């Protein structure tokens, strides 16, 4: 197929071999050429996820992600499996709060066949009533399985109460009630509204040629009509609720603890400072929480902190698994570390160690074609531009000890802290005074 250059408006990134082309129907195609590898990873990203669902349709994004694998107008599920295996491919998908992704990784010699499989999956699902009923049963079992996982359940309970009443707080899988209500018409209506060119990003990375790849994508997507003008409406930024939730589950041997507070969104100028703060607090074996609570006191086997940034909000949370007798002490020591970060500037040696750890994680995280493919799509969806490793490293290096202390003072506000505790809690009581940092 011969593709005219003019309507595609291809642009190129100067620092990485990244090119960007918009097809006539509005579909954005991103590629990064990595000539020294033998693989190609490609993914179709939908720019909406579970937080964009109504209460009644909670779980529909995840449900549709599952359903497209059940067969298309040209292949059934077994044919898909056989064809993917025949080219040694890895076909996968996931649903998040703000995106759905379908992706495949293959040898560079199998790009065309992999592209056939991926686009057939995304563009031609059948959603038969029989498959819908079967998949409802599968996902209801998945919901039960996750509810039997204590660390998942404590995070889910925390999230639901932290963003109470908002779609961001609702489970990605949906509920037994919502999933059981899905019909073929509901599934098709959702699919048609979200699987549109303007709501998609097609990203690929590996040993490929941009122009040739774009021509192949254009051929397969030529029948997908252009989206209506205007983007899909996104919900407003939700309020957070500083709750204290004790959920009793007598069958558990261990108490699961999740503590968190509001944090900046994914594109915040403060994001690198937040990443460093999280690294020092609980982001590794040398972190303060790990050393104090596990290594020095022996109060928990698993303890860590993590950030969850979204397009307009975020959270920083701390997880620990401990005994009911030690829960109060774990909370006390955690609060003490938050207070210390607010009151005492971090030493330069600790800050340098955190910077080196963060920079290494960023660089090592971009060593595969699949991670580069994901990075392309995420940077496009959240920033509308591409940050090179050099730019990111330079930004990390500018963060000072004073910046970290100022961030800690902004984030670690006692009245904003939320806590969820799950387990055989006995007479355990947690009051707001215990969270004073």
Buried b (16+ CB within 10 A) or exposed e, 75-101: beeeebeebbeebebebebebebbbbb
Confidence check: pLDDT of 11 > 80 = no
State mean pLDDT over 383-406.
95
Higher-confidence residue: 380 or 14? 380
Confidence check: pLDDT of 413 > 50 = yes
226: confidence class by pLDDT, cuts 50, 70, 90: confident
Q: For residues 403 and 126, give the distance between their C-alpha atoms in angstroms, rounded to a whole number.
A: 53
Buried b (16+ CB within 10 A) or exposed e, 140-158: beebeeeeeebeebbbbbb
Instruction: Specify the pLDDT at position 6.
Output: 34
The CATH superfamily of 6-220 is Metalloenzyme, LuxS/M16 peptidase-like (3.30.830.10)
Mean of per-residue pLDDT scores for the chain = 93
Confidence check: pLDDT of 51 > 90 = yes
Strands 255-262 and 303-309: unpaired
In tens, the pLDDT along 167-196 reads: 999 999 999 999 999 999 999 999 999 999
Instruction: Specify the pLDDT at position 197.
Output: 94
Buried b (16+ CB within 10 A) or exposed e, 401-417: eebbbebbebbbebeeb
User: Side-chain half-sphere of 184: how many Cα atoms within 13 Å?
Assistant: 9
CATH topology for 244-435 is: Cytochrome Bc1 Complex; Chain A, domain 1 (3.30.830)
In tens, the pLDDT along 236-289 reads: 889 999 999 999 998 999 999 999 999 999 999 999 999 999 999 999 999 999
The set of catalytic residues is 65
State mean pLDDT over 414-419.
97
Are the C-beta atoms of 305 and 318 separated by less than 8 Å?
yes
Higher-confidence residue: 11 or 84? 84
* CA atoms 49, 364, 387, 89: torsion sign: negative
Helix segments in 195-245, DSSP class H: 210-220
Structure tokens at 249: 């589950």
* Least-confidence region, from 227-231, 307-311, 429-433: 227-231
Structure tokens at 434: 């215990």
Closest CA to 434 of 287, 334, 347: 334
Confidence check: pLDDT of 9 > 70 = no
* Cα distances (angstroms) measured from residue 178 to each of 66, 159, 271, 406: 16, 18, 35, 43
In tens, the pLDDT along 422-435 reads: 999 999 999 999 99
Where does CATH 3.30.830.10 sit in the chain?
6-220, 244-435
Instruction: Specify the pLDDT at position 12.
Output: 53
Starting from the edge strand earliest in sequence, which strands make up the sheet with 200-206, in order?
A: 11-12, 18-22, 28-33, 200-206, 39-46, 100-107, 90-95
Confidence check: pLDDT of 369 > 70 = yes
Confidence check: pLDDT of 10 > 90 = no
Q: For residues 71 and 114, give the distance between their C-alpha atoms in angstroms, rounded to a whole number.
A: 16
């Amino acid at each position: 197929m011969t593709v005219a250059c003019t309507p595609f408006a291809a642009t190129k990134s100067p620092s990485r071999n990244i090119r960007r082309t918009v097809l006539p129907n509005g579909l954005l195609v991103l590629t990064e050429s990595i000539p020294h590898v033998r693989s190609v990873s490609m993914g179709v990203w939908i720019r909406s996820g579970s937080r964009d669902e109504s209460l009644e349709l909670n779980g529909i994004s995840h449900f549709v992600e599952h359903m497209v694998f059940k067969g298309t107008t040209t292949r059934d599920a077994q044919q898909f499996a056989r064809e993917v295996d025949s080219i040694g491919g890895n076909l996968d998908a996931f649903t998040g709060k703000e995106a759905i992704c379908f992706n495949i990784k293959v040898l560079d010699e199998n790009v065309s066949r992999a592209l056939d499989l991926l686009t057939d999956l995304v563009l031609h699902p059948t959603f038969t009533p029989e498959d819908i009923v079967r998949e409802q049963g599968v996902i209801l079992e998945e919901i039960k399985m996750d509810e039997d996982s204590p660390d998942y359940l404590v995070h889910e309970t925390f999230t639901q109460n932290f963003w109470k009443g908002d779609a961001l707080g609702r489970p990605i899988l949906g509920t037994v009630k919502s999933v059981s209500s899905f019909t073929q018409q509901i599934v098709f209506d959702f699919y048609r509204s979200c699987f549109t060119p303007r709501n998609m990003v097609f990203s690929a990375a590996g040993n490929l040629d941009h122009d040739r790849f774009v021509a192949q994508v254009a051929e397969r997507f030529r029948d997908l009509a252009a989206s209506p003008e205007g983007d899909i409406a996104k919900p407003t930024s939700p309020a957070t609720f500083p709750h204290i939730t004790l959920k009793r589950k007598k069958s558990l041997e261990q108490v699961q603890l999740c503590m968190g507070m509001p944090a900046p969104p994914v594109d915040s100028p403060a994001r690198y400072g937040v990443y460093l703060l999280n690294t020092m607090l609980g982001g590794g074996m040398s972190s303060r929480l790990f050393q104090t609570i596990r290594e020095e006191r022996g109060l928990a086997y698993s303890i860590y902190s993590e950030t969850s940034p979204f397009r307009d909000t975020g959270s920083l949370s701390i997880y620990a698994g401990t005994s009911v007798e030690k829960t109060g002490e774990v909370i006390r020591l955690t609060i003490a570390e938050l207070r210390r970060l607010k009151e005492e500037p971090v030493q330069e040696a600790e800050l340098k160690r955190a910077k080196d750890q963060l920079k290494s994680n960023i660089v090592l995280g971009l060593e595969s074609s699949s991670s580069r493919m994901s990075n392309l799509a995420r940077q496009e969806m959240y920033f509308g531009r591409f940050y090179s490793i050099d730019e990111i490293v330079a930004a990390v290096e500018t963060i000072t000890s004073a910046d970290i202390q100022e961030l800690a003072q902004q984030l670690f506000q006692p009245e904003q802290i939320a806590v969820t505790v799950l387990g055989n809690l006995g007479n355990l009581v947690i009051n707001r005074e215990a969270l004073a940092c």
